[in-house]
Chains A and B, each alone.
Chain A
């Protein structure tokens, strides 16, 4: 609820190597399946679809043969200073738990969509219609992620339920649930990525791969200068891609 920046002992973070991403979209499919996103009857209007994870296509704007493309998977940035949290009138979204994942409390949300107006990443989605699963497909709904009614805002939670499962597994194995080894908890998108473009772990834990990756000179975050302090990092060795990670004045360097 607080607008103040809180530091957590554990800070779950995602590092995406854009140079390794082929734009296959497997992460989007895995996300929708894992989080019980119902298929839409007509998904042709992409501004109406529920894509908590969305792959954007980036172009360098040059003609052939210099034309290049890059793909940028965009989950919720789980910002350290979220623009969405302080604006919610009913505390339906919060950043108050170790791990730093921005929560979304569906039974609390009134559907005012102020958080959507606040988020510059378009990471928040609204249930415009009742979710409907075609006959038989409802059997694929998992008990792990709650389904949402229409009229509430929903978003990526870094597959929060998988964290709970990882902690339970650690407890059963007699290990410390608050000090999970690298790879014990990964979201569905990371698990499915066929090229290994995504790494997930605790950004504060030197034993986790993301600790080093996030400090790479090739790492950057989206729209950093707005002050959102995201927990999602991107990597690229291509200058033109890097430059599209934020807004720069013509005389500024990325």
Chain B
């Protein structure tokens, strides 16, 4: 049997896939981005992160924005896991595998970026060895690393279910036993994720020297803690729907029913509604409480086009209010155009939110005699960022081709 024939026996049972040449061509395109990122990574590790566009005013930039965004968008994994295994919404079994893969890509990608982002990567373990229990970032380091392990545990049984691997009795039984204990890991994942999603928001909310981000809160948690959890579980399911639709578009095959996607979108929309109420209250409290207390006005928080009010309008009206309506009115959600656009807006809004909290927070000149500064990432930051996106593409492509990701695929393509 030729290699091309043998490769076909690796596909999941009963499905068809594109030719190997076409698939390798696609991987080569992604490989070009990976290579570009690898070159940038080499420069970063060899010469230091001075090769990036960051500076002493913008110690956080594209990478931190990217990390926070993908971690929020990857929240579909833990939230869907929670709903599927703990709350037992059985229908979600048809999309949970995809949610786990997206979560794995997002979290492992964020970790890879962080190895470049910190100035002393070899000291990354200090977060465990010399932890400062008062720092939100310590909690983030703990939970993200632990949760990545949970995601790997959730991903492993799917890999073991690959047709050829599953023929090996040991791996077959191992996969089965993983499934048996999966509710436990879904629970651990939900716990870890809730805390680090929150702590990522808490990271900004505690910055009492930065009025743009500072928030009052409950006990040790600033309001941003809860807002970041809510926005993550609002956008995560929608991101899963979008990736599913994207893979369907790219492969030309139906992978899940519209009903399942619609359910995910409805869950995301419901969370977005709760988030919307909280976010509007928070914004009101910020304008009328935090800012005047610091001697600042709402208008002072914005500058020019790049840090303009339009961003806030897009984030909080176009990307929250509109998707809430589209996702929660059944007649609208039934129409694909409305549902997909709502999902896109939802995810975009969360990305803008993470961007303004990361960049606008530090761009605002707190000292009255200081001036607004602007920041633009350069090739050394875009390179690794694109590399991670390409890495996600590779993992997703391989998973789709060889793993039984979509239980409904065979039935839907008969």
Q: Give the Cβ gap from B136 to chain A, nearest Cβ, in Å.
A: 7
Q: A161 in the interface, Cβ–Cβ < 8 Å?
A: no
Q: A56 in the interface, Cβ–Cβ < 8 Å?
A: yes
Q: Give the Cβ gap from B409 to chain A, nearest Cβ, in Å.
A: 43
Band of interface residues on A:
35 or more
Q: Give the Cβ gap from A151 to chain B, nearest Cβ, in Å.
A: 3
- B contact residues around A1 at 8 Å (CB): 132-134
Q: Is the CB of B55 within 8 A of A117?
A: no
Q: Is the CB of B119 within 8 A of A126?
A: yes
Please report which residues of chain B, range 10-62, place their CB below 8 angstroms from some CB of chain A when the two chains form the complex. 47-50, 54-60
Given contacts A86-B206, A114-B137, contact A150 B48 (CB under 8 A): yes
- B contact residues around A129 at 8 Å (CB): 47-48, 50
How many B residues, CB 8 Å from partner? 53
Q: Is the CB of B207 within 8 A of A118?
A: yes
Given contacts A47-B57, A89-B132, A122-B370, contact A111 B295 (CB under 8 A): no
Please report which residues of chain A, range 73-91, place their CB below 8 angstroms from some CB of chain B when the two chains form the complex. 83, 86-91
Given contacts A1-B134, A3-B134, contact A110 B59 (CB under 8 A): no
Q: B210 in the interface, Cβ–Cβ < 8 Å?
A: yes
CA distance A246 to B369 in the complex (A): 9
Q: Is the CB of A151 within 8 A of B119?
A: yes
CA distance A25 to B346 in the complex (A): 50
Given contacts A122-B370, A247-B296, contact A110 B135 (CB under 8 A): no
CA distance A121 to B367 in the complex (A): 7
Q: A183 in the interface, Cβ–Cβ < 8 Å?
A: no
Q: Is the CB of A227 within 8 A of B208?
A: yes
Q: Is the CB of A110 within 8 A of B124?
A: yes
CA distance A18 to B297 in the complex (A): 27
Given contacts A117-B59, A117-B362, A151-B49, contact A86 B134 (CB under 8 A): yes
Q: Is the CB of B137 within 8 A of A87?
A: yes
Q: B160 in the interface, Cβ–Cβ < 8 Å?
A: no
Q: B130 in the interface, Cβ–Cβ < 8 Å?
A: yes
Q: Give the Cβ gap from B364 to chain A, nearest Cβ, in Å.
A: 9
- A contact residues around B126 at 8 Å (CB): 89-90, 92, 108, 110
Please report which residues of chain B, range 183-221, place their CB below 8 angstroms from some CB of chain A when the two chains form the complex. 203, 206-211
Q: B86 in the interface, Cβ–Cβ < 8 Å?
A: no
Q: Is the CB of A120 within 8 A of B55?
A: no
- A contact residues around B59 at 8 Å (CB): 113-114, 116-117, 126
Residue ID in chain B nearest A252 by CB atoms: B295
Which single member of B56, B141, B296 contacts A47 (CB below 8 Å)?
A: B56
CA distance A135 to B52 in the complex (A): 27
- B contact residues around A116 at 8 Å (CB): 56, 59
Q: Is the CB of A108 within 8 A of B119?
A: no
Given contacts A47-B55, A48-B55, A83-B209, contact A89 B369 (CB under 8 A): no
CA distance A223 to B370 in the complex (A): 12
- A contact residues around B58 at 8 Å (CB): 47
Q: Give the Cβ gap from A122 to chain B, nearest Cβ, in Å.
A: 7
Which single member of A48, A247, A248 contacts B56 (CB below 8 Å)?
A: A48
Q: Is the CB of A222 within 8 A of B127?
A: no
- With most chain B CB atoms within 10 A of its CB, the pick from A58, A88, A114 is A114
Q: Is the CB of A117 within 8 A of B134?
A: no
CA distance A243 to B295 in the complex (A): 11
Please report which residues of chain B, range 123-171, place their CB below 8 angstroms from some CB of chain A when the two chains form the complex. 123-124, 126-127, 129-138, 140-141
Residue ID in chain B nearest A130 by CB atoms: B48
Q: Is the CB of B47 within 8 A of A249?
A: no
Q: Is the CB of B369 within 8 A of A58?
A: yes
Q: Give the Cβ gap from A166 to chain B, nearest Cβ, in Å.
A: 30
Q: Is the CB of A90 within 8 A of B207?
A: no
Q: Is the CB of A89 within 8 A of B131?
A: yes
Q: Give the Cβ gap from B173 to chain A, nearest Cβ, in Å.
A: 41
Q: Is the CB of A118 within 8 A of B210?
A: yes
Q: A104 in the interface, Cβ–Cβ < 8 Å?
A: no
Q: Is the CB of A110 within 8 A of B118?
A: yes
Q: B368 in the interface, Cβ–Cβ < 8 Å?
A: yes
A101-131 vs B, CB cutoff 8 Å, 1 = contact: the mask equals 0000000111111101111111011111110
CA distance A110 to B206 in the complex (A): 20
Please report which residues of chain B, range 54-80, place their CB below 8 angstroms from some CB of chain A when the two chains form the complex. 54-60
Q: A72 in the interface, Cβ–Cβ < 8 Å?
A: yes
Given contacts A89-B137, A108-B130, A150-B50, contact A113 B207 (CB under 8 A): no
Q: A216 in the interface, Cβ–Cβ < 8 Å?
A: no
Q: Give the Cβ gap from A190 to chain B, nearest Cβ, in Å.
A: 22
- B contact residues around A121 at 8 Å (CB): 209, 366-367
Q: Is the CB of A47 within 8 A of B130?
A: no
A190-233 vs B, CB cutoff 8 Å, 1 = contact: the mask equals 00000000000000000000000000000000110111100000
CA distance A124 to B118 in the complex (A): 16
A52-84 vs B, CB cutoff 8 Å, 1 = contact: the mask equals 000011110000000000001000000000010
Q: Can you identify 27 A-B contacts, CB atoms within 8 angstroms?
A: A1-B132, A2-B134, A47-B56, A47-B57, A47-B58, A57-B369, A72-B369, A83-B208, A87-B137, A87-B207, A90-B123, A113-B59, A113-B60, A118-B207, A118-B209, A118-B210, A121-B366, A122-B56, A126-B119, A130-B48, A223-B209, A223-B367, A226-B366, A227-B208, A228-B208, A246-B368, A247-B300
* Ranked 6 nearest A-B pairs via Cβ: A111-B119, A151-B119, A128-B50, A113-B59, A247-B295, A120-B209
Give the interface of B toward A (CB within 8 A).
47-50, 54-60, 117-120, 123-124, 126-127, 129-138, 140-141, 203, 206-211, 292-297, 300, 361-362, 366-370, 373
